[in-house]
Amino acid sequence: MPYCEVGKTQNAVDAALNNGIQIYYRTYGHGPIKVLLITGLAGTHDSWGPQIRGLAGTDRANDDETMAVDRESDGANNEVGGIEVCSLDNRGTGRSSVPNKKSDYSTRIMAKDAIALLDHLGWKKAHVFGHSMGAMIACKMAALVPDRILSLALLNVTGGGFECCPKLDRKTLSIAIRFLKAKTPEQRAAVDLDTHYSEEYLEEFVGSDTRRVILYQEYVKGITASGMQSNHGFEGQINACWRHKMTRAEIDLIRSGGFLVSVIHGRQDVIAQINHARRLAEKLQPVARMVEFHGGHLVTHERTEEVNQALLELIKASEMKMSPHDWNNFPKKRSEASNRTTVERETNIIIAKIHVFLVYLISLFMTAFKYGRSSLQRLKPVRVGASSPK
């Protein structure tokens, strides 16, 4: 099995903290261009399936002994040459190690896992693409080792903390409650569909069935095969997202890193609100381009061709050494527009804080309800029968 022992390639302090931590990964395709894919919360390496096929030209892993390698076909579907892709399971999910302590999870720690994997592979530099939590990890990685980043793609990303909270409405509240109550692959699959895709996409017919029906069967099969994520892994990764924050110094390191950035997002994402992604893209000016598609949180699956094309354009622009001025697509700021943006940003922050407070109250209610019901179930009433006549 392809594993990277994290502590082996790290300095003494990090090695001591990560002793025994193993990161599972797979590589696909061959070529001089290297791409590292970092998946999101609760996801595994194969969550990037559509991008692996689009970039590497195959979905057969390089360590698959049954694979007949045809190196001439690698990269045949793109214009940038042969690409080798690596996708990993973050700590806490899939086949990677699952530490028990929440303190063993942070986007910075997981970024160091990814850097250790680059060392393990012998990749001096790579294009780094992250989705959701994986994009937060990619940001930390780019700030830690900007000299090893060829380009950075941030898909369906937020700035962490309160920005991780979904939009508060009836639909997302229903999704949150169903997610907390999901105990079986069937229940988890049903809620995952509403979390990952736009309603329009799910209700489209493919032959005689809707995509919802087809994807539901695939999700149940996949979750059953891989198993539900452990509580330690899920709580640890949630903790990492909540604690994530990019400082001004880290943002400056990315902006001055000498590489281009794409911020790619689905407009119908109910998990990572697009306004937060736009704000991050603004902070990363002048090196960032904002790319928006009609789609949900898994825009990588919902708009596969468009997303793959955007990623290939990023790789091509980086290989051609395109200037940030030619790459970014943000209009020049005017004083009036700048003032309006500032007011909107402050208003959004206030609304977000109110939102967090409401989510906190709801979570308290759900926890109290859960434990209250458990306590009632443990109370066994004493049956008193009728007294027998003497």
* pLDDT tier at 123, thresholds 50, 70, 90: very high
Comparison of pLDDT for 331 and 285, the residue scoring more: 285
In the chain, where are the structural domains located?
3-68+79-165+230-327
**Tens digits of residue pLDDT in 199-256:** 999 999 999 999 999 999 999 988 887 777 898 999 999 999 999 999 999 999 999 9
Pairing between β-strand 149-155 and β-strand 205-206 as defined by DSSP bridges = unpaired
Q: What is the pLDDT of residue 335?
A: 38
- Cβ neighbours for 13, distance < 8 A, ≥ 6 positions apart: none
Q: Which residues are CB-neighbours of 19 under 8 A, at least 6 positions away?
A: 7
Model confidence pLDDT, tens digit, residues 259-303: 999 999 999 999 899 999 999 999 999 999 999 999 999 999 999
Give the global pTM: 0.83
CATH 3.40.50.1820 fits 3-68+79-165+230-327, yes or no: yes
- Report residue 71's pLDDT band, with 50, 70 and 90 as the boundaries: very low
Has residue 88 got a pLDDT over 80? Answer: yes
Quote the pLDDT of residue 341. 53
- Tokens representing residue 83 in the block: 């690409």
Which 8-state DSSP code applies to residue 295? -
Q: Cα torsion for 175, 176, 177, 178, to the nearest 10°?
A: 50
Instruction: State the DSSP H helix or E strand holding residue 288, giving kind and residue range, or none if neither.
Output: strand 288-293
How much is the pLDDT for 229?
86
- Cross-strand partners of 130: 38, 154
